[in-house]
Structure 1
Amino acid sequence: MHEMIRRGICLRAVILLAAVAASFGGVPGCAQPTIQEREYDAPQQFLLGPEDVVEIAVWKNLELTKTLAIRPDGAISMPIIGEVQAAGLTTDALAQRVTERLKPFIANPSVSVSVKDLNSYAVFVVGEVTKPGKYQLKSYATVLQAISLAGGFTDFAKKNKMQVVRLKSNGDQKLREIHIPVRYDDVVAGRIESGNMILLSGDTVVVP
């Protein structure tokens, strides 16, 4: 009888220990939860913008090889061909545009474009963060990285009511403002499809 009681107590202790261990991530030797992976739509190529400094190299033509800053209106100015719109283009696209403009003046021009100084990528964080403001960066940042750069949330932040405000072109020289809701708890838990989205230049993270 005593042996049966002792075995019953031991069985209950084992069951209780297993339940406690499971609540803290499982018992030793058991399979652990797999790490969730998420894919993001990262920009394929960097788009040039105002204040970026580019080198336009024209093969065998030192007079046309220039290092230029893109003006606030998005254009650069080159000898012979004059004004060339550069903002919103990749380096390859700008090289192709300059090439086409040079063809009436130079036989078979060969043009390459490289970025010498990146200044145009900036995001904004406003509202209930420690250090709201403009953040000029040298590489793409995500929502969580932008919040970190801004010193994190204040005690009054409504983290699950954040928004990313983005300006998009309608193709008619007008901009359309869109608001993308971002719930902090869902982002860190990986519960939403958009996840920790990558910010585009000019995006504003609003923390009410």
Structure 2
Amino acid sequence: MNIQYEHLRKIPGATVVLMAVFLLAISACAATGLGGDERDRQSGAGLTPMHGNGAMEYRIGPADILSISVWNHKEMNRTVTVRPDGQVSFALIGDIPAVGLTPLELQGAMERALGEYMELIPGEVSVVVDAVHSYKVSVLGEVRLPGRFEFQNQASVLDALAEAGGLTEFASTSNILILRTTGGQSERIRFDYQQLLKSGSSEARVLIFPGDVILVP
């Protein structure tokens, strides 16, 4: 697995205090409940586990590089980079939203858009993710190397914790939080590290998603 990361090497004392207060506040919110559009979940309730062949449906993110081709129209084939506004540009149809879609969903959207200008049948447009640059996850709190990590392939919570140097001796292993925003809705997901280790099952490993923040109190 290819990973790029940025470590937080030197943190001023005041920042350490602020981080501690922030982590305590997050933990308190998780314990007392959430309001508004936020939801609270246990790690076994709705998180994406690794099972079967261990694959998950990848959703396109900003800066990802895509190869888009149209069968029997080689002149239209091109490689595009997803812009910060979440869109890509393509011949005839102009800009089309890509962020948050799977390659198959984007393929369908492009077939419908191109269908207004040319005759197509399902499957004649191909979308392939050539390079992933949006799979970035932050790990903060009681880990040895807190920072932001970029993954080139799907990864689990354990993978992220390992890249952060592992837990410190002060970590509350049963109260780890995963902060996630999906469709404008924020979630705080409790992750029990000890329970996962006791299960001893690779299928129980929990996948992380681009943009996740893992907080270890």
Per the alignment, residue 70 of structure 2 pairs with: 58
Pairing partner for 2:159 from 133, 139, 145: 145
Q: Given the alignment, which residue of 68, 86, 92 partners 2:98?
A: 86
- Cα distance in 2 between the residues matched to 1:108 and 1:142: 39
Question: Could you say if the C-alpha distance between residues 125 and 103 of structure 1 is closer, same or farther in structure 2, counting changes exceeding 3 Å?
Answer: same
CA distance in 1, matches of 2:194, 2:186: 25
Distance apart, 1:190 and its partner CA: 1.8
- For structure 2, list consecutive stretches of 5 or more residues without a partner in the other structure: 1-48
Query: RMSD value over aligned CA atoms?
Result: 2.2
CA apart distance, 1:83? 0.7
Following superposition of structure 1 onto structure 2, how do residues 1-208 of structure 1 map, counting pairs within 5 Å? 40=50, 44-108=56-120, 110-169=124-183, 175-190=184-199, 195-208=204-217
- Unaligned residue ranges in structure 1 (runs of 5+): 1-38, 170-174
Higher relative CO (CA 8 A, sep ≥ 6), structure 1 or 2? 2
* Structure 1 equivalent of residue 26 of structure 2: none
DSSP 3-state at the match of 1:100? helix
Q: Which moved more, 1:147-156 or 1:39-48?
A: 39-48
Deviation at 1:46, TM superposition (A): 1.3
Give, in whole Å, the separation in 2 of the partners of 1:55 and 1:91. Answer: 10
Aligned length: 164
Q: How many Å apart are 1:89 and its aligned residue?
A: 1.4
Shift of 1:177: 1.4
CA 1:80 to 1:159, structure 2 compared with 1: closer, same or farther past 3 Å? same
Structure number with bigger Rg = 1
Alignment-derived partner of residue 6 in structure 1: none
Question: Matched residues in 2 for 1:99 and 1:196: separation?
Answer: 36
Instruction: Give the 4+ runs in structure 1 shifted more than 6 A.
Output: none
1:58 and 1:139 map into 2 onto residues whose CA distance is: 26
Structure 1 residues 108-160: Cα deviation after superposition (integer angstroms, max 9, x where no partner): 26211111111121221111111111111111211112111100112322222
CA distance, structure 2, for counterparts of residue 159 and residue 88 of structure 1 = 31
Instruction: Give 1:163 deviation, angstroms.
Output: 0.8
